[in-house]
A and B are shown apart, each in its own frame.
Chain A
């Protein structure tokens, strides 16, 4: 579990994150959504300590990253798997070498043991025929799967993904979503995904955090999204005509499993945001 308390981050005079409080549960897919410039990436990179937060605390199963020594941070980082927006695979390494990299750097496993683990995760993400290829020789969807394989090869406790579906076709996006959901359950990771993909929000969003202008405006889950009362959230999630019609249909029929009987029970709004008319 990751707990975030009063997290603030400023760049010179500009405050990008304005005191965020939330928590991300273990074994769940947690999504962070929001418009471009809402602070999603800064939030994710602050969690990962790529950006040093200005104030607040981030607790990884009770361990505050802000108070950790460099050695403790090193240990924590070996428990984290990350999938970047552009995959961030090492160009000079083959698929197999990329996946093996965390094992090479942080374990003392034998060559045979490493090979076994790498082949296991390659099988897990269905990339059996791409072992010896370089990242530039495979498609974007395959690169994302390699990035996921690299992130999970060391059995991480925490999995961070920055827009894993960006630039992918709808079918491949679904494959990636399903894979992330399965891995979260299988490895019992605390998975945090930064996404713009509303299909992901509605299918794998076991917890959804909506950021706007550096503030947490809403949090809940996919089942109560359609009935959320936050106008900014509704305008953002159901911005396309198709999604608007889908929401209207769901609300009219009240027959989809996406809607709970009492949605307001799971819905949390930031108390600092003025009520909308």
Chain B
């Protein structure tokens, strides 16, 4: 099993080697890129907005509950500060990336896998098209460029979710919450969040692409590959999260 794992990692990097090269035809590549921006990015807006709003609200309520139960008094303005910091450092980049690994990852693995079993990838290869480059590179670029935008929106919506939770429950005032949001936070937290998101986006685009590209069989295998792709992408995102946190925040 360990041998198979190392073989798969080797195949993954070989596939990346073929995928990350100069596109054969720039205008065809640009068309594909625009389509991937739409399929991978714009199509994920709704899910990101919905999830971020509720995550932000839940984080704010839990922060308030913990601060309220504390043995020493913590000002209510810290609810805003803590919500902002937690969303920027962890919830938006990691949780939203894990959700995108499920949504976008299964889409990438199944679409490329279906192309494999219906011989569309063979057709590309026989025509002389570099199929990994044609299929995977636009997905990598679209994810790495668009996911940070999604995460930025997620942070804003999450903070707004926290604000609405305060208004709805009456546990903290609007003024307290806004004061907390305006408290100082190191600017590299933001860069760390975007760097993390870009790395996760790369994993979200490439790991499912690897599973889809190497499907053998029929529709059942495409389904299996899609599931495996999502599982391994999530595992990779979580492990990478630990490594990046240790590297940049310790």
Which residues of A pack against B, CB within 8 Å? Answer: 45, 48, 50, 73-74, 77-78, 80, 82, 84-86, 88-92, 101-102, 104-106, 160
Contact = CB atoms under 8 A, between A and B. Distances in A.
Given A77-B127, A84-B123, A86-B119, 14 more contacts: A45-B122, A50-B122, A50-B126, A74-B128, A82-B126, A84-B119, A91-B120, A102-B127, A104-B28, A105-B25, A105-B127, A105-B128, A106-B127, A160-B126
A78 B122 CA distance: 14
A35 B120 CA distance: 25
B28 A48 contact: no
Contact of B119 (A73, A85, A92): A85
13 contacts: A50-B125, A73-B128, A80-B127, A82-B127, A84-B123, A88-B118, A88-B123, A90-B115, A101-B127, A104-B28, A105-B127, A106-B127, A106-B128
**Leading 4 A-B pairs by shortest Cβ distance:** A77-B128, A88-B119, A88-B123, A84-B119
Contact of A88 (B24, B120, B128): B120
A105 B126 contact: no
Interface residues of B, number: 17
Contacts of B118: 86, 88, 91
Nearest to B114: A91
A180 B133 CA distance: 32
Contacts of A50: 122, 125-126
Contact of B126 (A80, A85, A104): A80
A103 B33 CA distance: 19
A246 B5 CA distance: 58
B123 A82 contact: yes
Contacts of B28: 104-105
Contacts of A88: 118-120, 122-123
B24 A77 contact: no
A93 to B, nearest CB: 10
Interface string B1-31: 0000000000000000000000011011000
A183 B118 CA distance: 25
B128 A84 contact: no
Given A104-B25, A104-B28, A105-B24, A78 B128 contact: yes
Contacts of A77: 126-128
Contacts of A78: 127-128
A85 B125 CA distance: 16
B129 interface: yes
A77 B127 CA distance: 5
Contacts of B24: 105
Nearest to A73: B128
A84 B25 contact: no
Nearest to A160: B126
B103 interface: no
A196 to B, nearest CB: 17
Contacts of A85: 119
A74 B123 CA distance: 14
